[in-house]
Amino acid sequence: MLNLHASGGYPDEVASAQSLSFYVGNPPQLMQIFSGIAIPSTDSQGSLDYEDVLVHLNVPAPGEYPQDWDYTATVSLASVDSPGDATFTFATDECEVMSAAAVLGAGETDELVLHAKIAVRGSPAHVNRFSYHIEVLSKNPLQGAVLGTISWVDEYGEPSSAAFDDAKMFKVGTATHMIETSVAPQKVGRTWFVPYEIDGLPLDQPLDIVPSLLPGKLKRPDPDPFLPGEMFTPPFRLITLTTAVPSATNVDFVMTLPSVH
C-alpha cells in the first residue's frame, strides 16, 4: 500500500493540496472539501498491476463511518504515459474515504484518508498522477456547551453526605436543557466549589442559565441564623452561543443564604 500525504511537508507526494471547511444547515453541520493531485508514480512492465494508494488528508475523521458522516469522492487520471507501446491500460478503479485506523488497523490515528485503487498495464507504462475531489459532511450537528462553577462560603453550611454519595448537588441549565452536577464538592480555604458542564445546547439563540440547589444536599449551620431558601448571584446568566464561539466558560454562580436582617 502506497501512502501519500496532502500537507505542505510532502510536495513530492501530493501537489496543489487544498481544503475548505464550513458549516451548513440549521442546526449547523460541518462540511469539508478536499482536492489535490496525488503523485503515485506507479509503473508496469507488461502485466496489469494494481496499486492501493492512501492519501492522508491531515485532518481527523469526524467520528465513525457511516453513523457519523457521509461523503462523496472522485479520482481521475491526471498524468499517464506509455512510451513506445501501443497497447496499454490505465485505470482509477475505485475510491473511498475512511479513517486511517479503519484501513491500517489498530494503533493508527483517526486521520481522514482517501483510499484509491489504481491500475496500469504496458511495457512500460506509468500512472504518474491522479486528481481527487472529496466532500465530507458530518451528521453530528454543532452544539453548544456552557461550563462554570457554583460556589459558597462555609458559613452557609457544608455539603451533606448525600452530596458526596452521588456527587449531585445542584441543577443548572435552561428550561429545556437542565443537568445535575456530577462532580463532588471540593473545598479551597473557606469556599466550596462544584463544577458543571452543560452540553448539547442550541446555537444562535439567547439562553438563560439558572442554578438551583437540590433538596437535602446542603447541611445548614446549627444553630441556623439564616432564613429558609437560598439565593444565587447572579440569579441567572444570559448566554448566546454561535458557530464561531460554540462554548462559554467561567459561567459562574455564588450561592448565599438570605439573612434575617
Q: Per residue in 121-154, pLDDT tens?
A: 777 777 888 999 999 999 999 999 999 999 999 9
**pTM of this prediction?**
0.71
26 with 92, same domain? Answer: yes
Is 222 a domain residue? yes
What is the phi/psi pair of residue 154, to 5°?
A: -70, -10
231 with 130, same domain? Answer: no
130 with 194, same domain? Answer: no
22 with 102, same domain? Answer: yes
Check residue 56 and give its pLDDT: 95
Count of domains forming the chain: 2
In this predicted structure, the answer to whether residue 108 has a pLDDT above a threshold of 80 is: no
Task: Quote the mean pLDDT of the chain.
Answer: 91
Check residue 36 and give its pLDDT: 96
Q: How far apart are CA 168 and CA 190, in angstroms?
A: 21
34 with 158, same domain? Answer: no
pLDDT in tens, 75-104: 998 877 777 655 667 778 789 999 988 888
- State which residues form the domain around 118: 2-138
In this predicted structure, the answer to whether residue 242 has a pLDDT above a threshold of 80 is: yes
Q: Which residues pair with 60 in a beta bridge?
A: 111
The strand order across the sheet containing 49-60 reads 2-5, 49-60, 111-121, 89-99
In this predicted structure, the answer to whether residue 229 has a pLDDT above a threshold of 90 is: yes
248 with 205, same domain? Answer: yes
pLDDT in tens, 41-80: 887 767 777 889 999 999 999 988 889 999 999 999 887 7
Residues comprising the chain, all counted: 261
74 with 148, same domain? Answer: no
The alpha-carbon radius of gyration of the chain (Å, integer) is: 29
160 with 133, same domain? Answer: no
121 with 208, same domain? Answer: no
